[in-house]
Amino acid sequence: MTANLTPVEKAALLSGENIWQSRAFPHAGIRSLFLADGPHGVRKQTGSGDHLGIAASQPATCFPTAATVANSWDTRLAQEVGEALGAEAASQEVDVLLGPGLNIKRSPLCGRNFEYFSEDPYLAGHLAAAYVRGIQSQGVAASPKHFAANSQELRRMASDSVVDERTLREIYLTAFEILVREASPRVIMSAYNKINGEYAHENAHLLTEILRDEWGFDGAVITDWGGGNNPVAAIKAGGGLEMPSPGLASVPAIMDALASGELSEADLDARVDELVRLVEWVDGGKARPVDVDAHHELARRVAQESAVLLRNEGDILPLAPGTRVAVIGDFAHTPRYQGAGSSLVNATKVVSGLEALRASDLDVVSYAQGFERDGSANDALALAAVDAAIGADVVLLYLGLDEVAESEGKDRSHLALHPAHVELLSKLRHVTDKIVVVLSAGSVVEMPWLEQTAAVLHGYLGGQAGAQGMVDLLTGAANPSGRLAETYPLSLATSPTAGAFPSPVGSAEYREGLFVGYRYFATAGVDVRFPLGFGLGYTTFDFDDLSVTASGASFSVKNTGEREGAEVAQLYVRRLTDGVIRPAIELKGFTKVHLAAGESARVTLAFDEYTFRHFDTDADAWVVEEGDYEIIVATSSSHHRLTGTHHVEGVAARTPDPALAAYATADVMAVSDEQFAALLGRPLAAAQSADLGINDPLRAMHTASSPLARFAAKVLRSLIDRSERKGKPDLNLYFLYNMPFRAIGKMTNGMVSPEMVDQIVRIVNGHFFRGTGALVGAFFRNLSTSRRLRRELEAAAAAAAAK
């Protein structure tokens, strides 16, 4: 199939028409596609558009974010969320939904962790696949993102993820592999960053060799918004549609490359065909109505099944009807239920904790704000809260991270709650020890204060009905069954990338290799606050009678308590025989088992192609090493309930490479340059030149030769600081600060050509007069080129119409 388009039209088709739409060529039967965020609710903007969640969008159900749903460990539930997202997208005539995000949580500090599933690729891949199946069942294409190794927000468009091939495959690509093989997404969004020196969107190893040739992906790869760089390199490597609106700025480069033979028409056709197939596949143009109330109830159920009970001393929870509760904390009144950025949904309605509690059978005797949300001191609020607590049976203390603490565009610098909020907890302890913390945060927080609480219920970012879901759990209307999808370290300092994340310079070296999350803690023997998979409930489960065969592990689970409940059975594998360096244990299966009180069930977790494999870089292939493996049935990465041994046939085991000694014990904070170079299989890159280039972020102007550029960087920084002091992150400013110069040309609808960007950078590098002169010349050349291209496009359309 090759679309009936002229070469200029084909080149133009690969650039977005505007912020949310692709170009239409009606004479060739190609309509425009509407793309919209996002991962936990539809964000369709019809007025002024932006990709940072700033301007208004149409109301849609705000479901719990991916980090939250991941805690359900329930692929059926994730698929239901996907179906609802797809149905809402269809109802708003959205053709491509930009999600889910399945990047691996390399560090608990990543500002977008609230949008991602897990630190583990097996869990993330299966949940993402379920979302995609759900979304696409509604005739809407899913665009899982950001492919790949997109782990930090600092310099997010100007960062090179330097990662060894084995780690790339086993940690950062396996989730995408599972997703592609299981759910066939029609679209994939490439990441902003480079991987080992090449932009993800221009990375033939990633987009052609792995994604298409190995995994069989046959959809379209689109850029992240403003993430395009060299369109010719992208097309050759397998990268298609550039979003949002580079105008026709990429067309001349594509036409020149076709003329010179640098780009083949076959490669261009391949990218065009992928897009045309997508246009044909989507079931667009039918605005089917959705039941918003039913979706609100679904959001509530998902929140219920995803919140994690972390502590419950003396079984203080669930609270009996009529319990006199003092409700304290600003988060009870103004819930934090989603994160800032491109995923921000204009919820159809939002219920607060206070409202949900008042509607429950608990007796709300008082409410006090307790603290300033931004953590600034306010003794009067704290005093009033202590007063409010006196005389209540139980204090429900609503804590959380505020809007500035976690957001797209900005990584976190620590994992603590505001000290003033934690101080309130200490003050309340003077009047009661019956304090139940109800926590809202999209990612890991340190909990040195844990012992001061009687219970902690962690709702993550539970969406518009999250507060209701939490109250259902507090009262026992539902039994907590969420289990953490990421490890909670005792402190940031004990986590494997501490001190090295986020990288402030161009290359982000993934020195910890495979030892991400629990893989690190379990191998290095470092204690954690809560392990992966941890969570409590109001009943107990026994595990028994493990049988391991070549096809999997079977065992019995019994609900030994007095309430109906659910447990997540997790399968971890540990290699017992010597061989290649590996993490001590790896998650290879899971299922959520729902059981009535006293009921038991036989559960089987099947082995699959991912269970025993590792990526052998010498063979450039996945291999299974012959030997004995321990099969562990567990309720967290640290709570092993049943174990068995299993012998697997395979290739002869390798002896570990002595050059990688630090990795054998996961001593990853002590990895030397030589060891990291040995892991990479190549020398480390030399330091960058002092002059700035088109791919340096605007923030790099702090060190530019031009005083004007240094001044501009200072102004930008002070505007950011001012916005943070106001308690509301300015995402536009974060975006600009981390945006490379080249993106000026990718986001301005063709007004700034690549040649003009070169001249802007020349000015920044101190050549003001020569740069400005050349910039003016480039401006006029761009004007006449775009006029000529527009005329050519009009002529092609007219010629087609005349046929």
Which residues are identified as catalytic?
Answer: 224
Give the integer Cα–Cα distance in Å for 171 and 121: 6
Contacts 24+ apart (CB under 8 A), 427-434: 427/382, 427/385, 427/386, 428/328, 428/385, 428/386, 428/389, 428/395, 428/397, 430/386, 431/386, 431/389, 431/390, 432/389, 432/390, 432/392, 432/394, 432/395, 434/316, 434/393, 434/394, 434/395
Q: How far is the CB of 55 from ligand BGC (least distance, A)?
A: 11
CB 731 within 8 A of CB 409: yes
Nearer Cβ to ligand BGC (96/595): 96
Kindly tell me which residue out of 176, 225, 331, 676 binds ligand BGC, with binding defined by CB under 6 A. Answer: 225
Burial letters 252-270, b for 16+ CB under 10 A, else e = bbbbebbeeeebeeebbbb
Nearer Cβ to ligand BGC (394/739): 739
CB 67 within 8 A of CB 443: yes
Phi and psi at residue 201, in whole multiples of 5°?
A: -75, -10
The amino acid at 770: R
Nearer Cβ to ligand BGC (716/796): 716
Q: How far is the CB of 800 from ligand BGC (least distance, A)?
A: 32
Nearer Cβ to ligand BGC (135/362): 135
- Site pattern 87..126 for ligand BGC (x: CB under 6 A): -----------x----------------------------
Q: How many CB atoms lie within 10 A of CB 415?
A: 21
Does residue 202 touch ligand BGC according to CB under 6 A?
A: no
Phi and psi at residue 397, in whole multiples of 5°?
A: -100, 110
Nearer Cβ to ligand BGC (147/367): 147
Closest CA to 466 of 266, 302, 268: 302
Nearer Cβ to ligand BGC (225/572): 225
Q: How far is the CB of 342 from ligand BGC (least distance, A)?
A: 3
Give the integer Cα–Cα distance in Å for 196 and 212: 19
By beta carbon distance, the residue nearest ligand BGC is: 51
- Site pattern 139..178 for ligand BGC (x: CB under 6 A): ------x---------------------------------
The distance from CA 164 to its chain's CA centroid, rounded to whole angstroms, is: 21
HEC string of 483-522? CCCCCEECCHHHCCCCCCCCCCCCEEECCCCCCCCHHHHH
Q: How far is the CB of 779 from ligand BGC (least distance, A)?
A: 27
Q: How far is the CB of 502 from ligand BGC (least distance, A)?
A: 15
CB 633 within 8 A of CB 589: no
Q: How far is the CB of 146 from ligand BGC (least distance, A)?
A: 6
Nearer Cβ to ligand BGC (47/525): 47
CB 60 within 8 A of CB 284: no
CB 339 within 8 A of CB 443: no
Question: Distance from first CA to last CA of the chain, Å, rounded?
Answer: 20
Rg over alpha carbons for the chain, rounded to the nearest Å, is: 27
Q: How far is the CB of 692 from ligand BGC (least distance, A)?
A: 22
The footprint of ligand BGC on residues 406-435 (CB under 6 A) is: none
How many residues of this chain interact with ligand BGC, rule: CB under 6 A?
Answer: 8
Give the integer Cα–Cα distance in Å for 700 and 161: 18
Does residue 37 touch ligand BGC according to CB under 6 A?
A: yes
Whats the size of the chain, residue-wise?
803
The footprint of ligand BGC on residues 688-707 (CB under 6 A) is: none
Nearer Cβ to ligand BGC (37/406): 37
Nearer Cβ to ligand BGC (39/489): 39
Nearer Cβ to ligand BGC (98/415): 98
Nearer Cβ to ligand BGC (227/252): 227
The footprint of ligand BGC on residues 325-384 (CB under 6 A) is: 342
CB 148 within 8 A of CB 102: no
Distances (CA, A) of 690 to 630, 687, 712, 757, 766: 52, 9, 18, 18, 12
Q: How far is the CB of 439 from ligand BGC (least distance, A)?
A: 26
Q: Half-sphere exposure (CA, 13 Å, Cβ side) for 156?
A: 26
Tally DSSP H helices, then E strands, for the chain: 24, 26
Q: How far is the CB of 145 from ligand BGC (least distance, A)?
A: 5
Q: How far is the CB of 223 from ligand BGC (least distance, A)?
A: 10
Q: How far is the CB of 156 from ligand BGC (least distance, A)?
A: 7
Q: How far is the CB of 111 from ligand BGC (least distance, A)?
A: 11
* Side-by-side strand order, sheet with 541-549: 541-549, 552-559, 600-606
- Site pattern 49..88 for ligand BGC (x: CB under 6 A): --x-------------------------------------
Q: How far is the CB of 38 from ligand BGC (least distance, A)?
A: 6
HEC string of 353-416? HHHHHHCCCCEEEEEECCCCCCCCCCHHHHHHHHHHHCCCCEEEEEEECCCCCCECCECCCCCC
Nearer Cβ to ligand BGC (19/257): 19
Give 150's contacts (C-beta < 8 A, 6+ positions apart). Answer: 103, 156, 161, 191, 192, 193, 200
Does residue 224 touch ligand BGC according to CB under 6 A?
A: yes
Nearer Cβ to ligand BGC (37/170): 37
Q: Half-sphere exposure (CA, 13 Å, Cβ side) for 694?
A: 17
User: Looking at 500-599, which runs of residues are DSSP E strands?
Assistant: 507-509, 528-530, 541-549, 552-559, 565-575, 586-595
Q: How many CB atoms lie within 10 A of CB 507?
A: 18
Give 715's contacts (C-beta < 8 A, 6+ positions apart). Answer: none
Strands 565-575 vs 627-634: parallel, antiparallel or unpaired: antiparallel
Residue 535 DSSP one-character state: -
Give the integer Cα–Cα distance in Å for 39 and 151: 17
Q: Which residues bind ligand BGC (CB under 6 A)?
A: 37-38, 51, 98, 145, 224-225, 342
